[in-house]
Structure 1
Amino acid sequence: MISTTTPSIEGKTIVEYRGIVFGEVVAGVNVIKDFTAGLSNFFGGRSTTYEDELINARQQAVTEMEQRASQLGANAVVGVDIDYEVLGSDNGMLMVTASGTAVVIQ
């Protein structure tokens, strides 16, 4: 499965559009990760615990989007967009959505 942020794929022809597909992941950030991220904030530096959570959530959202495209008979997704939001009263949840247009290319 090819996924790209561009509206076309160089060297390939889109022969059919199958529809818009989405992948959504809502991930909680637990107390341990929050504590270690707080230490990074206090002492300075990058928060690899949050970065790892973000990377994992993004990969899961893209994979889910590609699976939904495949279920529609597509072999590529074009115009991919990834969005991030925080949810919950304490901002303890991270939502990542991936969306794009499922297409058949040849």
Structure 2
Amino acid sequence: MILSTTNQLDNRPVQQYLGVVTAETIIGANVIKDIFAGLRDFFGGRSGTYERVLQEAKDTALQELMSKGHLLGANAIIGVDLDFETIGSNGSMLMVIASGTAVKI
């Protein structure tokens, strides 16, 4: 399955538009991660713990997006957009929304 943020693929014309597909992932950050992230904020630098959580949420949303496209018979999803939001009390959870147009190329 090809995923692209563009609305077309070079030298691969869209044969059929199958519809919009979306996928959502919500992942929580636990207390231990919060403690280490707080220390990282205090001392400076990147938070590898949160970066891994973010990567996991993004990968899960894109996998689900491809699965939904596959169910429609798509071999590509174009115009892929990723949105990131924090939700829950004190922003304790991360939500990733992936969307795009399922197509046959």
- Counterpart amino acid of 2:30? N
Match of 2:5 in 1: 5
What is the CA RMSD across the aligned residues, in angstroms? 0.6
Q: Number of residue pairs matched?
A: 105
Deviation at 1:23, TM superposition (A): 1.3
Deviation at 1:94, TM superposition (A): 0.2
TM-score by length of 2: 0.98
Match of 2:84 in 1: 84
Specify every segment of 5 or more residues in structure 2 that has no aligned partner in the other structure, as ranges: none
Match of 1:59 in 2: 59
Q: How many Å separate the matches in 2 of 1:10 and 1:59? A: 25
Q: Identical aligned pairs, as a percentage? A: 50
Match of 2:35 in 1: 35
Q: How many Å separate the matches in 1 of 2:57 and 2:26? A: 8
Deviation at 1:89, TM superposition (A): 2.0
1:83 is paired with a residue of what secondary structure?
Answer: strand
Match of 2:25 in 1: 25
Which 4+ runs in 1 deviate beyond 4 A? none
Match of 1:45 in 2: 45
2:103 is paired with a residue of what secondary structure?
Answer: strand
1:90 is paired with a residue of what secondary structure?
Answer: helix
1:56 is paired with a residue of what secondary structure?
Answer: helix
CA-to-aligned-CA distance 1:17-76 (integer Å, 9 cap, x gap): 010001110000000111111110011100010111001100110110010000000000
1:45 is paired with a residue of what secondary structure?
Answer: coil
